[in-house]
Amino acid sequence: MLFFILLQSCSPNKPDEIKELTNRDELPGLALHELTTTVTDSGKIKYRFITPEMLQFDSRKEPTIEFPQGLHLYVYDTTQTVESQIKCNEAIYHQSEELWELRKDVEAVNADGDVINTELLFWDSKNQTIYSDKFIKITTDTEIITGYGFESDERIENYKINNISGILEVDEQQDRESE
């Protein structure tokens, strides 16, 4: 009986199993760890991002660059000052569309200090827009706004929430007195 069990456990691999193990589309062409990259234009910093891991898949039908452990992106203005930043726990850059897909605990901060939180945010770098169709929370100095769906310029200065579900005004003076 032991002989038959051993004989069955030594069966050859099936062609589908071999193909899946050697599928080049699912193997990254480039894998980098602990990466900091700066993107410049005419000698001026436009973007800088930091990530624990970057995987580049050029062999796929739709080439992507994936950041499975998250990403922290800084956007600079013409005076080389950080004007906004976005961080998330997972990101995918769709190369042909020039579209960033930011997922899992996404937080964006603009130059005014407004903080946007959501679980899914798209950054269309070709059209210089940021948007989401998921729940969003925006915290400003004076209010907390919640809703579903969001659109903005890439500097996160001119934004709108499509379906506002709540606005909570924050009275900073009252907060200071209660401390």
The domain segmentation of the chain, as residue ranges, is 28-178
pLDDT digits (tens, 9 = 90+) for 42-73: 888 888 989 999 999 988 888 999 999 999 99
Contact (CB, 8 A) for 87 and 74: no
Distances (CA, A) of 34 to 26, 65, 90: 22, 15, 15
Min mean pLDDT across 21-30, 36-45, 96-105, 153-162 is at: 21-30
Helix/strand/coil percent split, the chain, to 5 = 15, 55, 30
Homologous superfamily of domain range 28-178 = Lipopolysaccharide (LPS) transport protein A like domain (2.60.450.10)
Joined together, the tokens standing for residue 100 give: 């960033």
> How confident is the model at residue 19, as a pLDDT?
56
Name the pLDDT band for 111 (thresholds 50, 70, 90).
confident
